[in-house]
Structures are given as C-alpha cells and as structure tokens.
Amino acid sequence: SLAIHEHKLAPGTKLGEDEIGEIYGVSRTIVRTALQSLAHSQLVEMHRNRGAYVAQPSPAEALEVFEARELLESRTARSAAMRATGEDIAKLQAHIANEHAALQKGDRGRAVFLSGLFHIEIARMADQSTIAGFVETLIARSSLIIALYWRRESALCESHAHHSLVKAIADHNADRAEDLMRSHLVDLHS
C-alpha cells in the first residue's frame, strides 16, 4: 500500500500476482490475500478474469471522501486539542518537517503520504479508535484522488494550515482546532 500512497503506482495500474510475489519473495496466496485486503480498503479494484488494479475513484467518490473527512476530522481535531501532550505536539511538528523536506526534494508522492500521516496522527491523538480507523481509510483513498485529480500544488496540504492547526492543538483551543481543520479540508476539497 505504501507504493500506492506515495504515487509510485498510479491509479489504474495492473497488479500482477506473480510479479508482486517475485518482488516481495512471497507466495501467490499471500499476494492474493494482501490484494483482497487492499480491495477491502478500496485501494485496489478486483476484476473477475482480469485481475487486480490500483483503484480509480470517480469524481462522485472523491466528493464523498472529502465530505466525510470534513465531518470526521474536524471532530478529531477538537478532541485532539483537548487531549494533546507535549509529546503529541512534537510528533506533529516532526511530520510537518518531514513533509517540507520531501517537498524540497521534489518528492510530491512522499509529501502527500506524510501529510496523510499528519492527519492520521491527529485522529490517533483524539483517542477515538473507531473514528481513527475511518479517517485512515479515507486518507488512503484521498491519496488516490489527489493522484488522479489534482490540478495545483495546493492539493498538497498548505504548510501554514498545518502550523496553525498544531498551534491550536498545542494551545488546547478545541473550537479553533475544529474550525481550522474544517476550513483546511474544505480548501483541499475545493
């Protein structure tokens, strides 16, 4: 899944079981199980008699994914702000630094992946494991959506948006964290 998240495998790419097995040194059975798991997460599409392909979300699916993120992640940002520790804030700042380093190297795929980890970390901090699981799945699908549809650099999370979010969370300002996350995701969505 990392290759999909980092845009090393483009949406629509055929995933041959034998080829994947050779690359990772595993049996076809293990590859098939992994592909089924990725299909369950909607990162891979299985086509009868044709095999597995990296998923290609439709514009309607893209809309649904970002609307769901707007609802869930604004709530997790609120909860994270109420629970954040100094260690949590340090992790978020490290995510931002790593994302910036990837952008400076011109590795957009890695930057998108790291941006997703930043959002997943906020969901984890909220201490709501069910919602965090949904957020993780939505962010994985967002990576495919960005690979398919982005038209401008702002598809990558704006650095000031992440910095502002971290400040609100560090200040335990739940209302501000919720508002910032919502407006950040609305901006990404648009």
Q: What is the pTM of this model?
A: 0.79
- Return the DSSP state at 126: T
Given a contact cutoff of 8 angstroms between Cβ atoms, the answer to whether 166 and 96 are in contact is yes
* For residues 82-110, average pLDDT: 91
155 pLDDT exceeds 60?
no
Q: By C-alpha distance, which of 105, 83, 7, 12 is closest to 51?
A: 12
Provide the pLDDT confidence category of residue 175 given band limits of 50, 70 and 90: very high
* Collapsed DSSP state (helix, strand, coil) of residue 35: helix
DSSP alpha helices (H): ranges in 6-85? Answer: 17-24, 28-40, 59-83
Given a contact cutoff of 8 angstroms between Cβ atoms, the answer to whether 80 and 92 are in contact is no
φ, ψ of residue 88 in degrees (nearest 5): -60, -45
Residues 6 or more apart whose CB falls under 8 angstroms from that of 2 comprise: 8, 113
Residues 6 or more apart whose CB falls under 8 angstroms from that of 75 comprise: 126, 131, 178
Provide the pLDDT confidence category of residue 152 given band limits of 50, 70 and 90: low
* For residues 16-34, average pLDDT: 86
- Our CA dihedral for 146, 147, 153, 158, rounded to 10 degrees, sits at 40
* Spatial separation of the C-alpha atoms in residues 1 and 20, rounded to whole Å: 12
R_g of the chain, CA atoms, integer Å: 17
